[in-house]
Amino acid sequence: MEISGFGIVLLFLIGGLVFILVTLGLGRILRPSRPNQEKLTTYESGEEPVGPAWGTFNVRFYIIALIFLLFEVELVFLFPWAIVFGNAEKINATNGLWGWFSLIEALVFVGMLAVGLAYTWKKGMLDWVKPQTGVKEETSTVPQGLYDKINEKYS
Amino acid sequence: MVTFLFYLPFLLLFVLLAVYGERKISAFIQSRYGPVEVGPYGLLQTLADLLKMLQKEDIVPGAADKWLFLTGPVLVFVAVFTGFSVLPLTDQVAGAGMEAGLFFLLAFVSLDVVGILMSGWGSNNKFSMYGTMRSIAQVVSYEIPLGLSVLCVVMTAQSMDLQEISRQQGVFSANPNFLFGIRSWGIDLTDVGGFLTWNVVRNPFLIPVFVVFFIAGLAEANRAPFDLPESESEIVGGYHTEYSGFRWGIFMLSEYGMMLLVSLLGALLFFGGWNSPLPNIGYIRLADWTSGTFWGVGWLLGKALMLIFIQMWVRWTYPRLRVDQLMGLSWKFLTPVSLVLVFICAIWRLWMI
């Protein structure tokens, strides 16, 4: 019997699932199950946990996910391109024009995203610990001269 | 069908031996003995560990989201294992016959991120949350260089079917093969085969591409030096802090499965897959003599196990990266480099015609 390509994928999917569930089921016969209050507490290095862990998270992860999404979509588009751009028949039929033309097209496409990457890099979004930039400007109504005088007097 | 019957038992046998192998290799690197007690030379150590794990209580913390906690590890394993479905085994035995097999593999293996998120979020533990967030940021970031390096191979081979990519790199090739892939030089190697027709020789720029692929593969498998998601010195156990018994073992199984998958993929894409490395020289038909069903399986697994050995060697040689170094390496170094390599490989492909 011939199984189609996706049929084999389904076989792997179900096979993997069945294997894991059977092994876990087998473990169920072997292992004890005696839960108690202390065992069921959340592990936090021996301390009583304060509050749930489901809280807010740093926005950096969100930005990384956004950049990833852009590049992944780009990849999805580049794979079909990679199959056709170097097609020998099409290149020979157009005297080599097909290959170079589609290469330049892809260069423009990737170039735009590369500019985006450069922009986020420049903005410091890729830096995990964002660097402190600039010196804080002191705005005081007392003129600097008065401070200098005091420094001079007591030095 | 045949690949399923081969890969499932092989994966289990591999995990048993690889855990033992890793402990022995690390022991050798650190001038220790490693496991010696259980069985001859400690060979049965992993089996004993497995039996112990099966007998351990499966604790579900009271504060956890029960469904996410229980199904997370299963999803991680299934996603990794389904990735094996498109891998070929020999010249006769192909995986799932799909035009876009490689594309499917990349798409499906990415699903293990969802499994990690489910188990980390479901644990309701602060250490697990940190581990999960790091893990997702890392896997997602290294997905880009991995995809781009695979794209370079797809461009060189003009196919996404792994069996077709493997067939091109040896004496079974349907198309003529030339030295460095350049037709105009006229050095025909179709009948010679061996390592001279591997992808890394057909397109020498695939060597740096392979380095990018290897680094990204290490990060995808959450292996040291990229094992920040489970760095025990900072966040206890990362996303599997709360797991115990065999449910924790599934994470280990998936990690080693991912190592094997990435290594097999590296062997198939860059180093000729099931093709023999020995070339035909005149009447000495080394490539023809060393091709066939058993030879093919042997070459493929030999190459993959070699890559796994290098992964373990790297793990016990380099210290763990810092989080900012990790993200910087992916976005500021590997991604731009692989973008440039994509265009170099594209130009090489146009020369190959």
pLDDT at res. B213 = 92
Q: Is B76 on the interface with A (CB under 8 A)?
A: no
Closest-CA residue of chain B to A84? B158
Report the 10 Å Cβ neighbour count for A88. Answer: 14
Q: Within 10 A of B124 (CB to CB), how many other CB atoms are there? A: 21
Q: Which tokens sit at B105?
A: 């593999």
Of A43, A61, A106, the CB nearest to B125: A43
CB atoms A42 and B141 under 8 Å: no
Closest residue to B323, CB basis, from A67, A114, A128: A128
CB-nearest partner of B246 from A24, A82, A114? A24
CB atoms within 10 A of CB B173: 18
Which residues 84-123 of chain A have a CB within 8 Å of chain B?
85-88, 91-92, 96, 99-100, 103, 106-107, 110, 114, 117, 121
On whether any CB of chain B is under 8 Å from the CB of A35, the answer is: yes
Decide if pLDDT at B228 tops 80: no
| Nearest Cα residue in chain B from A12 | B82
Average pLDDT, chain B: 85
CA distance A137 to chain B (A): 29
User: Closest approach of chain A CAs to the CA of B255, in angstroms?
Assistant: 15
Q: Pick the residue with more confidence: A16 or A42?
A: A16
Count CB pairs under 8 A between chains A and B.
Answer: 208
Token pair for residue A60? 């950096």
pLDDT over 80 (residue B139): yes
The helix or strand, by DSSP H or E, that contains position A105, with its residue range, turns out to be helix A97-123
Percent of chain A with pLDDT over 90: 3
For residue B126, the chain A residues in CB contact (below 8 A) are 44, 49, 53
The answer to whether the CB atoms of A87 and B245 lie below 8 A apart is no
Residue B294 in contact with residue B318, Cβ under 8 Å? no
Over the stretch B273-305, which tens digit does the pLDDT of each residue have? 888 888 777 777 777 777 777 888 888 899 999
Quick one: pLDDT band at residue B149, thresholds 50, 70, 90?
very high
- CB proximity under 8 Å: B 47-66 to A: 54-64
Mutate to test the interface with B, among A1, A9, A34, A47 (most CBs of B within 10 A): A9
Q: Of A47-61, A106-120, B15-29, B333-347, which range is least confident?
A: A47-61
User: Given B1, B58, B86, which is nearest A3 (Cβ)?
Assistant: B1
Q: Give the start-to-end residue ranges of the domains of chain B.
A: 2-352
- Decide: B96 and B4 in contact? Cβ < 8 Å: no
Q: Which residue is closest to A61 within chain B, CA to CA?
A: B137
Taking an 8 Å cut-off on Cβ atoms, the answer to whether B8 and A19 are in contact is yes
Cβ contact B81:B11 at 8 Å? yes
A11 touches chain B (CB under 8 A): yes
Query: How confident is the model over B309-330, as a mean pLDDT?
Result: 86
Does the pLDDT of residue B45 top 80, yes or no?
yes
Residue A131 has pLDDT above 70, yes or no: no
CA dist list (Å): B152 to A97, B74, B169: 21, 32, 15
Residue type, B283: Y
Chain B residues inside the 8 Å CB shell of A89? none
Q: Given CA atoms B72, B73, B78, B84 in this order, what sign does their dihedral have?
A: positive
- Top residue of A13, A79, A94 to mutate, by most chain B CBs within 10 Å, is A79
Task: Tell me the shortest Cα–Cα distance from B25 to chain A, in angstroms.
Answer: 29
> First and final CA of chain B: distance in angstroms?
36
Check pLDDT > 80 for residue B320: yes
Instruction: Quote the ipTM score.
Output: 0.82
3-state secondary structure A8-53: HHHHHHHHHHHHHHHHHHHHHHHCCCCCCCCCCCCCCCCCCCCCCC
- The answer to whether the peptide bond before residue B225 is cis (omega within 30 degrees of 0) is yes
| Chain B residues within 8 A of A58 when measuring between CB atoms | 133
